[in-house]
Amino acid sequence: MSTTDVEPQVQGPLSDALTQLDSLIQHTFMVELPPDLRWDALLLTFTIAVVLFFVRTGHGSRGADGHERRVGLWQFLFPREIYTHVSARVDIWLWLLEQLLRPLWVVSLLATVGPGVETIAISALEQLFGATPALPVTLPWMLFYSLFTLLCYDFVFFCIHYTMHRVPLFWSLHKIHHSAEVLTPLTRYREHFLVGPLWAGGAALAYGFSGGVFGYIFDGNITEATLLNISFFALLFGFNGAFRHYHVQFNYPKWLCQWLQSPAMHHVHHSYLPQHWDKNMAAITSIWDRLFGTLYIPEVDEYTPWGLGPESQAAQRTFLQNTLAPFKEWRQMLHQKRAPSKRQVTPDG
């Protein structure tokens, strides 16, 4: 067979998109605000909050103690006790440290995990079913591709998040996120600097698998749709992430909470009360939490005090304490020659 007879290799959308992402890679080396913290996204967040203020006649805003109370509009939107809290200041420093270290892992994961998973998925499908069917790209298929990608991402997020809560080694890292005693839109990015690669790798795995499956189905002609999907989900999760780490309650009807995570459901996730531990793990949908028994739909104005709880909070209040805490706990685990249960380490929010 001559070289001219060889069929062109099917290429996944993420692999193809790498040639179009020079500016994105360059931007990873710059400290810049995430999309959900830019003025337009924050304006949308505050607009919805204003609507909630009038609908609920001043109710629905939580204080630093986790209690809901009726307040005036300015206090409803920007309570001083929250935005001057030491926890809110630590959010800023942890985010800045993550931004500084982000180029070390974003570029490598962008260039390896996603395209690698795509290639494996496409090769496996070709081995199982033969050459690509090369279906035409139609609107119904694109909508199904978007839904499939969302469910893949949400499932991988759920698995990583569940592991972080149930495995002491990873809980030592994720506990930094739960050490937040108040919630602000920036709390979404309150993570230990070692956690970033886990979330980014999970996203690359989900997008790579979805892109590989549909790259095979459509003979790789979905690069633009893939980039649109990633941008849309980044915006969707960004807005949801900003509002669910906002002190204002945003409850969905209970029937909708069976399918989608409301911001108020994430207030529960951050609570240190025992009945709220390890609940509502997914990012967007409630499907995986329902399947695995971790779904918790709160009542309106249900009490949700945030943080690690009175017994453990003092050990992880400052920026330095949160940065060094995982290393201290890992050393303790090694000295004990066995990993203690999570409940021995701290209550989980």
Query: CA-CA distance, 309 to 314, in Å (whole number)?
Result: 9
More confident residue, 30 or 324: 324
pLDDT at 227 over 70: no
Q: What Rg do the C-alpha atoms of the chain give, in angstroms?
A: 22
* 285 phi/psi in degrees, rounded to 5: -95, 165
One-letter amino acid for residue 259 of the chain = W
- Beta-bridged to residue 62, according to DSSP, are 68
Query: CA-CA distance, 13 to 114, in Å (whole number)?
Result: 10
Contact 219, 126 (CB under 8 A): no
Query: CA-CA distance, 151 to 29, in Å (whole number)?
Result: 30
- pTM for the full predicted model: 0.83
Q: Which long-range contacts (CB under 8 A, 24 or more apart) does 68-75 make?
A: 68/249, 68/301, 68/303
Q: How confident is the model over 100-159, as pLDDT tens digits?
A: 877 777 666 766 788 888 889 989 999 999 888 888 877 778 778 888 988 999 999 999
pLDDT at 5 over 70: no
Contact 108, 25 (CB under 8 A): no
Q: What is the per-residue pLDDT for 254?
A: 94
Closest CA to 178 of 75, 327, 315: 315
Contact 249, 232 (CB under 8 A): no
Distance of CA 282 to the CA centre of its chain: 8
Average pLDDT for residues 32-45, to the nearest whole number?
74
Q: How confident is the model over 228-272, as pLDDT tens digits?
A: 655 565 556 555 656 889 999 999 999 999 999 999 999 999 999
* 342 phi/psi in degrees, rounded to 5: -60, -35
pLDDT class for 35, splitting at 50, 70, 90? Answer: low
Q: Which long-range contacts (CB under 8 A, 24 or more apart) does 221-228 make?
A: 221/137, 222/13, 222/137, 222/142, 222/145, 223/13, 223/16, 223/17, 223/20, 225/13, 225/137, 225/142, 225/145, 226/13, 226/14, 226/17, 227/13, 227/17, 227/20
